Each structure stands twice: as C-alpha cells, then as structure tokens.
Structure 1
Amino acid sequence: MLMKEITLIAGTEETRKTLLEQLRSYIGEYIRIKSYAIDEGIEEIIKSDLIILSSDLVYPEALPYLHEDSKQRVMTARRTINYHYIDKLLFIPPGSEVLFVNDVAETVFDSIGKLKELGINHLKFIPYYPGIKSVKPVKIAVTPGEGDKAPEFVEEIIDIGPRLIDMTSMTEILKRLDMLEGKAHELSQKYLAKIIQLGQRLVEATQETNRFNKNLKTVLEGVNDGLLSVDTYGEIKVANGNLEKIFQTAMPFTMGKNIRQIIKNKELLHFLLNDPDGANMILSIDNVEILVKKFYIKEENLIVATFKNIKEALEIERQLRRELIKRGHIGKYTFEDIVGSSESIKNKKRIAAKLASSELNILIEGESGTGKELFASAIHNCSVRRGGPFLGVNFSALPEDLVESELFGYEEGAFTGARKGGKKGLFEQANGGTLFLDEIGDISPKIQARLLRVLQEKEIMRVGGTEIIPVDVRVIAATNKNLMEMIETGKFRQDLYHRLKVLYVQLPPLRERKEDIRELVNYFIQQNEPRSMRIEEEVIQRLMHYNWYGNVRELKNTLEYMLAVCEGDVIRIHDIPEKSFFQVKLTAESFQGYKETNELEELGNSSELYFILRQLYTAGSQNILLGRKQLAELAKAEGYTLTEPQIRQRMNLLEEHGYLIKSKGRAGTRLTRKGKQMVEQERLNG
C-alpha cells in the first residue's frame, strides 16, 4: 500500500523547520511529508493528497504553485503556543510588562489569548506588530520566532519559538486522509507523552524557583542588618527577621502589607518613600542608634533599605581589627607617623594621601631607608581598605624557590614538605585589603610573568592547584632600584612596570631634606629613651653636615648608638661614631644607580667641572642664583683661569651628562640629583 503524502507550506524557513519536525514526530512514520517556505521560494508545482498551510496569509502566495487537483485539498492549520519553551516565561517576575511581538495583529492577539488559556497570567502582555501606531516602551519582549520585528528600545528578547499545530488540526489531517480510525489512539498517546514531558519540565522549573527562593531567604535571614524592600507605594516586597528585631513591633513585616501600617515614625516614612536615592539617615529606636541606607532599583520600581545597629557594627569592626592585629595583618603606620616638616616630605604626604583614595596600584620609588613601607602602610590606613588586611613581603629577603608559594599559596602534595591541606598565599590572605611588595626589582622573570597575570586578571592559582581563585587586592610595590634601567637591560618586564606604576610616589633622600634632621633626632630620642635626654647643638650641626646615604634608617641607627654610649642625660660631640660607621656612598644597586667610576675624570678638566658643581651646590643651598660672570669671578679668586665662554662650554657638557639643568630667566641653573650626589661624594672622600 502506497504511503499518503502531505505538503506543508509555511511563510518562513524557521516556521517550516519547526512544523515539519512536529509533523514528523506525530505522523511521520506512516505519512510522507514534503515542505516549502515562501520566503525561500517555490520552484515547482505542488501536488499532494493534502496541502497544509501555516496560516491564511500564506494561501495567496502559495496558490500559483498548487496543482489543480490539489487546490481542493487545502487546509489551514490551527496554531497554538510552542509548549517546548513555555517554561521560559515562568522565570519573568510576576507583574512584569512585556511586549508580545509577531508579524501581524491577528497572530499577536491570538497568541496572547492562548497564553492566558494556558495559565500564563502573571504577566502584562502588550501587543506589538509592524505598523502599530504607538506602544509603551518596555525592556522585555516575547516572540514566537519573530525577534527581528521587536522595536529598538527592547533590551531582552525571549524567543518561545514558532507556534505549533494544535491537536485539532492534527486530528483533522488524519481524518482528511481517512486514517483517523486506525491512528487516533497512537496520535493521542504521543500527544499525552508530550504533555507529560512538558509537565515534568514545569515541575523542574518550579522546584528550581523554590530552591532559589529558599536559598534567598536563608541569605536574607543570615545578614546581620535589617533588610526591607518596598515599592513606591509602600507595599512590602521583602523583609527579613532582623528588621523585626530592630523595630520590636507586634505587627510583622508581612509581604503585601503597607509599611504605613507598621512604621509610625513620619520622618522615617518620608525618608524611605520620598528622599532621593542613595540617602542615609540615623534613627533612634529605644535609645539604639540605627544607620539607615536606601537605594532605588529603577527597573523593578523598588526601594531597598538596610538598617544597621551602629554599636554592633563598630564592635564587629573592632573585633576584626583585633584579629588582624593578632595575626600581624595590619598597617601599623599612618601619615601622622611620618616625621618631618620640610616642604619636600609634606608634599609627598599630600600626594600619597590623594592617591590613597584610589583603588589603583601604586609604585613607590626611593633609596633604601627613605620610609617606603611607612608610606605604604599610611596609604592603606587612609584608603577604603583600611578595615582589611595589610600584608607585606620583602623579595630581597626571600629565597627564590619560596617566592611563588608565598605569593600564591600551594595545594596539599604540591611539593615535598607541603603542609597538609595546603596553604593560602599572601594574595589570598590580603583579600579585601592591601599587599605591599617591597624590593620588587629583585623578583625573577618567572615570578614577574605570574604577577603580571594576577594584576591583569585579578585571580590566582595555587602552586600544584587547578582551581582559579578570584582575589580583590590592591598592590603597592616599592623599589630602591632604577627599574627603567632594568627594563633596558631586559631584567624587568616593561608591561609589569606599567601595571605597577599606575600611580607613583618618589620619596626624597634625607640629604635633600636636612631641615628634618633635628625633628627626627628628637623623635628617635623620645622613642628610644624614656628618661629626659638632651642633645648638644654642636652634635645636631655635625649630624646635619653628613649626607646620610643610608637615609632615615642610618640616622636612627646612629642615634641608637649614641644613646647607648653617652654618659648621663646629654649626648655630646664625642658620642658621634667614627667616620667608618657611616655609609659614605650609595651602593651600586641603589635606586639612583650611583656609579663608582668617576665620570668627571673621563670628561676631562675634572677639577674645573668639580669647581662649577661645588659653586652651584653652595649657591643653591643658599637660594642664590649664579651666572657665568659670577662663576668666572669666583674661579679667578680660587686660581682657575676660566673665561665666560669656557664656563658656558663646561656647563653645556655637565648638562649633557645629567649633572645640571640650565633654565632661562629667574630659574637660573640648578644641579640635578646626580650633580648634588657628586659634590656630596667628593666632600666625603675629601
């Protein structure tokens, strides 16, 4: 017996595919099915036992391609909502306004009616089709495969797929083919199986929603603050148990009630329902101070407020602080702990305090002993992260093979001797706070690469681990090396340098702020000696004469030495250590990159060059400007035969090699740091 044949003609290719799949699943075992889409074009005359149209709109365009015998065997399928995707609609919040988008008004209104018949009545559907004159702008649109027709203001499109052929049309197809009596039971069984499958999906969706709501309730009840969410009319949408504890009211904050029935404080009601978004207020309930914060969720038209017991919040912060102190994970210094009244150090403190308000990484450069860790700690304690941990690591004191595990942690069994259960690295321990990376110039290329990735991705992976761990850490790096020179020689990554140096502070050496020495000396005496001590003025003057290449740390060590050897309660000149005690030059590795090779000797006329540098140094310390004429006169007085053109030539040479900077006008000529160091070094060596 020959199989009967039907032909499906749909308007679009997507509708054709969907309906063809449906027909095959129900009757494809015993009926041959052909299909066409108008928008793809029809290139042959169609002759079948039955022609099925996806809608009446298809008929005029399909008619020219129908065989005369088939024109009498045409039916238009009744269509219904595609139940395969109906669960998508259940996740849209109740009461939401959504557009229903389709190609013509008839199918739009028909589909909305079908959805309501199916019980999808928790949404407010707004009809939309091409040519409609006006429509309310909403963010969500639902469509049966016609998403391209949605207006531009729609932000989210939920496609529930093309409408399916309903069961009455399926039955009619079998009836017209004289197959209903033999296949009706099989058709109903398949339809029932589809309905059961849909029911299972809806049950799963409901269970998932219930699980989510249960978890959400657990979270809300676990929050220490009172939480309240209301609409703009004051109707309660969410409230947790802590809110009721704070208000201690006989009437519970039940969902659906209006807060005016529960809260009688007019000031609070006005604050919640009328004050601008982001406002705060302090409320007193039974002599308990409560901080109330609110914000507005425009999309949901909801007001959310948190109620925090100020006393409890402060106690929690104190407990956290005590725990951080106990672990040593706390910034010990503030800007008030940085001693000095010179304009130089005050300016650096002002800059650092401004940088503290940012969340960006900071690079601190300065010679050894200038107070880089003090500044890092002070920046942390002046930032929004001051309640979080502050941890530091000095790379110069850490063996290379331990750096990776210290920074990133390790998993159990990562290496011989690894702690059972693994260990958190410094990045994990500093989460929510600040990590101070001292002597950053000492890390290897391998660690540089890993550190760069952490700074880029904000996540780490422990040594021997596979899990990606997100971290929220601000990095403050410090160095006494010239990182730019290290980049040029390939010892430091340029991309890492720029990741670290988003913000920047360069600390001045002590020899450039000698006016702070007196204040520092008095501070160190008070810190180290409980008894009343004084220091002779001659000692202060001698200390101010030194250049302190070890900076504040060297000065502190010197004071501790003098306090240990002095007799009585006075520090005298003979208590100053011998010359060998002092650092007399910068190390080759220092930030300034001082070179022991005497560059001036290589330039020639070194004594004359020294003379010019000395005179400019002395004049600069007294705020005196020197021109070529004055220098020529001073040279003659000291026995040098130098004309003004010769002085100009030598000053040009010194400028080329970075010893001085010539400026026009009142700024005059001044020494660079390199020039000052050369003079100071010559004096110490002399």
Structure 2
Amino acid sequence: MVKRMGVSIDDLSNKKTIILVTGTEQTKIALTHQLNEYLGDVVNIQGFAIDEGIEEMIDGEIILLSSEIVKEELINLKLLREEKEVIVAQRTIDYDCIDELVLIPEGIDVLFVNDAKESTYDGIEILKKLGFDYVNFIPYYPGLSYVNKKKIDIAITPGERDKVPSFIKKVVDIGPRIMDITTIIHIINTLKLDCYKGRLLTENYLQKIIKMAKRLSQYTNKISSLNNHLHLILDGLHDGLLVYDQGGFITVYNENVKKLIGTYFGDIKGKKITKVIYNKESLNFLLDKRVNNEKIFSLDGNNIIVNKIFLENINCSIAVFKSVTEALKINNKIKLELMKKGHLAKYSFSDIIGSSDKIVKVKEIAKKLAITDLTILIEGESGTGKELFASAIHQFSKRNKGPFLAVNFSALPDELIESELFGYEEGAFTGAKKGGKPGIFEEADGGTIFLDEIGDISLKMQARLLRVLQEKEVMRIGGHQIKTVDVRIIGATNKNLAQLVKEKKFREDLYYRIKMGYIRIPPLRERKEDLRDLINHLVKIEAGKNINVEKGVIEELLAYDWYGNVREPRNVLSYMLAVREGDVLTIKDIPDYGFFIKNLEGKTLYNCTLNLNNELIFLLKKIYELNENNIIVGREKLADVLKESGFSMTPAQIRVRLEKLEKMGLIIKKKGRIGTIITTEGKKLLNTK
C-alpha cells in the first residue's frame, strides 16, 4: 500500500468536503484556488457565490463563509443549517498581487476602493502594516457621498473594479482578499488533518510570504521593513504567533504573542524560548517536536490555548496563541461597554418614537411602574426596544441618580454570568483578578440592573438570582462576606416565559417575583401608524441633514409587516439614504423584497403584485426587445444593455429583479441557450404602460 505524508491512498479516496460560500463569483474563484493550493489533495471543495444564485440547502463536512455579511444573507435565505460547523474567514491582502504598489509615488493621495465601509478600512490598515504607509489612503465604498476629484488619479482595489469612480485615471487591482493563516489553521483542526499541517504551512503560506518579502525589498528601500522576517505582516494576525527552530531560538513572532505570554522584552527575535516563557509545562509542550497538538496553559496569569505544529522541511515549529474561551472576550466587551456607558441610562421616554394609541398606552403604564420600586418584566419581540424602555423607566424613577447596568444573558455561559453578577474574591479561580472584582449587583447598588434575555438563563443561575431578589444580599465567588444591596431589577425577554414555566425550563417562583410589574411592547406591525414618525426620525438621525421623503415612499413601506421591528426600518432607511440621488427619498430607492425580513412561514413581506416600479418596467422592456431580436437573454447580457442605456445594474442586482418578475408571472427563466423570455402576461402589461 502506497503512503503519502503518513496517509494511505485508500484514506485519501474518502475525502472530506468543504462548502465555500462567498458573495461574488470573483471571491469564490480566489478562495477556491487558495483552498485547493493548501488542501486540494485531501478535501473536496465546492464553491458557491450568492450573486450567481443558490437554489438548494448547502451541506458538507464544514461550511466556510467569506464574511459575516454572507452568513447573514444565507440565514435570511434559509440556506444555512444551524447545527452545521461554520467558519467565517478572516481575510487579508493577497501578497502575490501587491508588487505594483511599490511604483506608486510617495506622499500622494490614493483612493482605496472596496465593497463596504468596514472592509475598506480593514484593507487600508493591512497595507499600512505591510509598509505602504508613505501614501495617503482615501477610503471609498458604495454610498460615500463625497470625494475630492481634483486631487486623486490612482485607485487601489481588492478586485472591486466596478466600484471605482469614473474620474480615476489608473486602477491598481490587487485581487480579492484571501484567507489569513489563522483561518487555515482553524480549518485544519476542525477537519482533523493534523498530518498535513507541516507540509501545508511550509510549502505554501510561510514560503509565499517570505518570497514576497524578499521580492518587494528588492524593488525599493521604502518598504525594507517587509524583509524583517515577516514581522510587520504577522502583526496583522488576530492571534499571537511564534516560530522557533530546533534549538528553541525564536525566528519569527508578532506583537500579540508578547502580550499573551507576558514578556517584558522588546525584540525577542533570536532569544531562546526558555528566556521568554517560564511555565515548565508549556515549555515541555512547545519544545517536544513529536507533539503536534493544542493545549491550555496559564501564562502570566492568563489562560491561553496554544496550537503547535512542527515543520519538518525547515526544522522549526510554529505556535499560535489565543485566549482560552470566547467567554473571556465577551467579558472584556462587557467591561468596555460599561465603561463607555458610565453606568448611566442613555434613553428617556422622549426617545420612544410614536403616537399610536398602543405605544402611548404602553408608555403611560411604564411611567406609572417607574415611580414604584417593583421588579418589572418587559416582553417583546426582538428589535421592539426593550432596553430603550428599561432605560427610560430608570430615568423616570427615583433611582435616576444611581447607576444603570445592562447584562445580556444570551451571550454568556453560567461561569461568566456568575462572576459578572456576583463578583469574585482574589484566588477564587484561575485567572481571578488580584484583589478580586465586585459584581454588577454591587456596582449597581442604589440603581437599576437590566437583565436582557432573562429567558435564556439556566436553572442553576435562576436559583441564585431568586435568592438575591428575595434576600437583597450577595456573596462573591470564593468569598464569605455577605453584602446587602439595594437594586431594582428590570428583566426582558422575547420568549414566552409562562410556557417555559409549564415546560419546567423556568422557575415559577422566579417568574412571579420578576413579573410584579409587566409591560408588553407591541411589534411594529401592530402599530403601523407610528411608521411615518419613525421614518422621519430615522431619516433625520441617519442623514444628519434635511432629506425629504416622497409621499409614495411612506405608503409603500406601510405595506410591509416589519418582522424585524424598529431595527428593520433603520436598516432599510440606511440603505435608501446610501443609494439615493439628491436630497429626496423616492420609491425607486426602496430595496427589493429580498432585503426584508421574512415571516415564520417564509413568505416575503413584500407584496410583489401591488406595485411594479419604473425600474422593473424598464428591465421588462429590454427583455422584450432582446427576445424580439432573437438574442439570448442572460444576466451578463442584460447588464451590458442596461449600461448602454445609462441604467447601470450589477448581475447580482439583475438576478434579484428577475426573480421578482418571474414570481409575478411576467417572465420565464430558462437555462442554457434559451435564456429569459417574456410571457404573454408580461407583453400585456407592457401594452398598458
């Protein structure tokens, strides 16, 4: 039996499958090529792009998504099973495609063009870390309202040429962003392909970066720092990274690893690993080249997970360091949020927009409850504004001079909930802060605690919470001293707590203790008369200037049921403001029906038979004209025809509109040489226009 890298050919015949889903075809091609380069001999890779259309539920050993935006869109399309393993790729610049950048003159303004604000700023940051900090990057993305055309001639883009403005004279396309090394390692570990790690990282990723650094350093000394053994590149990684030879001498590292292991040295390159890490157990693990594994250690008082790989071809090891759990990251985020909030309520009743009878009644009840000291349960669907009401109640109460703290139970495990709510003493557990830490009940003394998603709390934590509500006393984890606290509790949930009580998933005594005061916030679809005020308010807040709204826009939006509640019109208005022309929002600015939240039956909330806007009529006419001339109608052909008519539209946008026309029975989409054809009903409609 023939073997390769310790794996038999018989083993390879049963390949595992990676399902790759991207937003665009170009990104799909780039990431598929990268995956084939690293893993093509041991896995099957099936690529899909949303702009090409995905008609069936995807399935495979692992689902790899190119971005969080793609994840959200798949969920909306109901193409993503929650139980499947999902990895959202961390993306970086393709180092093979940046040679031309060194020819850009120093000190000039250069447009950096990408598909969204966040990815634009991420790309600029990566290029600066690579050493391209001698030019002035100007961010540009769809929806940006102003750019100084006189000063800028050159644009850099990671594969988004169609988004480069027309006044640009030269475009430097560095290709779509690819996955970074931490994502590759994540995939390897998830699929348990440990025997391939050494060859994978040696022959591909590290060698590619090293060659790139050498190549660019020969072009110009402006970016000579790139040749410093990948230091600046590796600093862009999210985790700590350490590369060391057989003798234990460090050859490559990034700044994050110094923070995680707690070293106080400046430059640790060339130092022996035993001089910067003192934990004996972790050193034995790192220096044992026979072990390719991951393990958890306590380094400098922090719990760190270390993933180590020995690279046989170059006789060195690479170790990736990261925080032991996502819970610690959440804990840090909570601390930062509390610091930003200053323990103060941000909203009052005047911030609750609406004048309908239903919302006015709820506000009146909330004000009456606010002046009492009762615990309150707020029920409402996601996005109805439960935290806004809780904040307003605190502001209206006699406790308004005290702190207001919010905790979301849905994102936290029991251990973190317990330490956050009740605090801990020094030495209570590994990683406990020196001197201990007060819990939220102590910090909120004299004020209000908002317990969001209280329906997600475990039965164990329900018992502890009930004792605090009954006794008004808390004791820190690992402590012996009981402290009296004066705190008002406002709980909130989007679940049916009464049903959870029947199912024994929520304590009945805690349910009645919390529900001494009760508020139900009606969903937006039950108070549509508030939509006009809400839209005007959101336009004013989002636009920052005077923007008019056509009467027809309000009437059109009233046709939707808004299952996303207040959050959804905020998203819709943000979109409309981004794509508008001038200072007036018109019906054509309303996104297509696929943009909107769907109801439980999966039917879109957009009633596509109610209206057929000018954009769709124009598209239908072009399809008819092409049919009459016996020209096959596909998305690419339509994009070209529309562009010639001064009505530019991407193939992805055309796909959405074709689906809409097909559901109306106005066209039929055929594959192959037939293409899209207009129906008799479609022709009749054109005759009436």
TM bucket normalised to smaller: 0.3 to 0.5
Larger radius of gyration: 1
TM-score using structure 1 length: 0.38
